[in-house]
């Protein structure tokens, strides 16, 4: 055998050496835990398609938040399921809406825990779309057009109400054109210049959202969201979407979903220097859980590999339903 010979395996020969040269490190501070809050009392109901994830009423919420804080997870993302819905999603911007009330409680219990408010209307509208809709019927079938500019006012009202309740970060997920600029202007005018916007900048019309729509009771009652969420085939469009949000004043960018879009995460990371969030969505979570329950995969190994892969692709922060388990596994528990 001729010399020299390259022996890459030297740097893999022991756990100590592998740890020393590891390029990507997953940390509990990288993770955000979503929470679903709902009306009523005494509710802690597991979501059928998302094992280990629950609906919490306000009186059962503290146990969940206590656990999140004890694990050192720095932030939660709040989704609300209201008692009533209407055509404009008024429960979403109600001063005493479910997300607003949950925010006040969490900030009272743990002022240092970051509360991120998802700013959308789909959970609060009776039609399940992310903004105002003009409907018409053709041959007995209901059709609807989501009204972009009219929706911005309602989304801005929602964001301001969430900030007033104490939300640390506003996370608009509606994908209306101009939503970052409208919300930024509304927050500034209301005196919340200090509240950052974590924009769902690159949000695809994905099949991976199915379990979430059960959890949030937010499935569209007609049509789909392909006229405002992105085509999964496109990546150059993702750059245009993110660039618009940067110019409009976004403080953080997001790619959603994550697992099938690591190439998009990498592209956005290379194009922009704002903090980048990846949303490891419900369908990605549920597939892992289902396979693990069948004994087909090692759940711990799969989850830690998946989350490390998202960081390696360029995400600074990861929203994931695996957050609590991941922290325990990182601790060696």
Both tokens of residue 269? 């990371």
- Are 256 and 279 contacting, i.e. CB atoms less than 8 angstroms apart? yes
- What percentage of the chain carries pLDDT values higher than 90? 76
Q: Is 203 a catalytic residue?
A: yes
Among all chains, which residue has been given the structure tokens 């022991």?
14
- Residue 153 is assigned to a ligand binding site: no
**How does pLDDT run across 26-60, given as a tens digit for each residue?**
999 999 999 999 999 999 999 999 999 999 999 99
> Per mean pLDDT, which range of 82-96, 227-241, 249-263 is the poorest?
82-96
Is 321 annotated to bind a ligand? Reply is: yes
Q: Point out the catalytic residue in the list 62, 107, 203, 324.
A: 203
As given in the structure block, the two tokens for residue 2 are 């001729």
Query: First and final CA of the chain: distance in angstroms?
Result: 46
256 annotated active-site: yes
Please report, to the nearest 10 degrees, the dihedral formed by the alpha carbons of residues 235, 78, 288, 20 taken in order: 80
CB 54 within 8 A of CB 321: no
* pLDDT at 126 > cutoff 70: no
How many whole angstroms separate alpha carbon 42 and alpha carbon 221?
29
Taking the C-alpha atoms of residue 61 and residue 81, their distance in angstroms, rounded to an integer, is 14
Cα separation, 159 vs 163, whole angstroms: 6
Closest CA to 124 of 160, 88, 170: 88
Homologous superfamily, domain 24-331: Aldolase class I (3.20.20.70)
Residue 18 assigned as binding residue: no
pLDDT tens for residues 274-321?
A: 999 999 999 999 999 999 999 999 999 999 999 999 999 999 999 999
Task: State the greatest distance between any 2 C-alpha atoms of the chain, in Å, as a whole number.
Answer: 79
Q: Is 70 annotated as a binding residue?
A: no
8 Å CB contact between 170 and 223: no
Which residue ranges make up each domain of the chain? Answer: 24-331
Q: Return the number of other C-beta atoms located less than 10 Å from residue 15's C-beta.
A: 8
Q: Is 74 helix (H, G, I), strand (E, B) or coil?
A: coil
The catalytic position among 107, 164, 256, 289 is 256
Q: Which residue has the higher pLDDT, 233 or 139?
A: 233
């Amino acid at each position: 055998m001729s010399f020299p010979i390259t022996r890459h395996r030297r740097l893999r020969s022991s756990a100590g050496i592998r740890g020393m040269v590891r390029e990507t490190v997953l940390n509990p501070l990288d993770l955000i835990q979503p929470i679903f809050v709902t009306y009523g009392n005494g509710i802690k109901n597991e979501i059928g398609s998302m094992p280990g994830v629950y609906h919490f009423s306000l009186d059962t919420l503290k146990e969940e938040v206590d656990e999140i804080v004890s694990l050192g997870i720095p932030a939660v993302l709040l989704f609300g399921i209201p008692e009533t819905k209407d055509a404009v999603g008024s429960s979403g911007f109600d001063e005493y809406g479910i997300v607003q009330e949950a925010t006040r409680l969490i900030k009272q219990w743990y002022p240092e825990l970051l509360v991120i408010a998802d700013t959308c209307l789909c959970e609060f509208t009776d039609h399940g779309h992310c903004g105002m809709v003009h409907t018409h019927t053709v041959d007995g079938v209901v059709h609807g057009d989501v009204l972009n500019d009219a929706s911005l006012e309602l989304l801005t009202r929602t964001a301001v109400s969430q900030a007033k309740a104490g939300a640390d970060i506003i996370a608009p997920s509606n994908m209306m054109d101009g939503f970052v600029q409208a919300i930024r202007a509304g927050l500034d005018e209301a005196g919340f210049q200090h509240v950052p916007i974590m924009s769902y900048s690159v949000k695809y019309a994905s099949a991976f959202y199915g379990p979430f729509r059960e959890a949030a009771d937010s499935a569209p009652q007609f049509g789909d969201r392909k006229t405002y969420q992105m085509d999964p085939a496109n990546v150059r469009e993702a750059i245009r979407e993110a660039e618009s949000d940067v110019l409009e004043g976004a403080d953080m960018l997001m790619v959603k979903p994550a697992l099938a879009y690591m190439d998009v995460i990498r592209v956005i990371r290379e194009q922009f220097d704002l903090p980048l969030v990846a949303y490891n969505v419900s369908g990605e979570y549920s597939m892992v859980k289902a396979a693990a329950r069948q004994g087909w995969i090692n759940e711990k190994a799969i989850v830690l590999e998946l989350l490390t892969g998202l960081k390696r692709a360029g995400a600074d922060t990861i929203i994931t339903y695996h957050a609590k388990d991941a922290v325990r596994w990182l601790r060696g528990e």
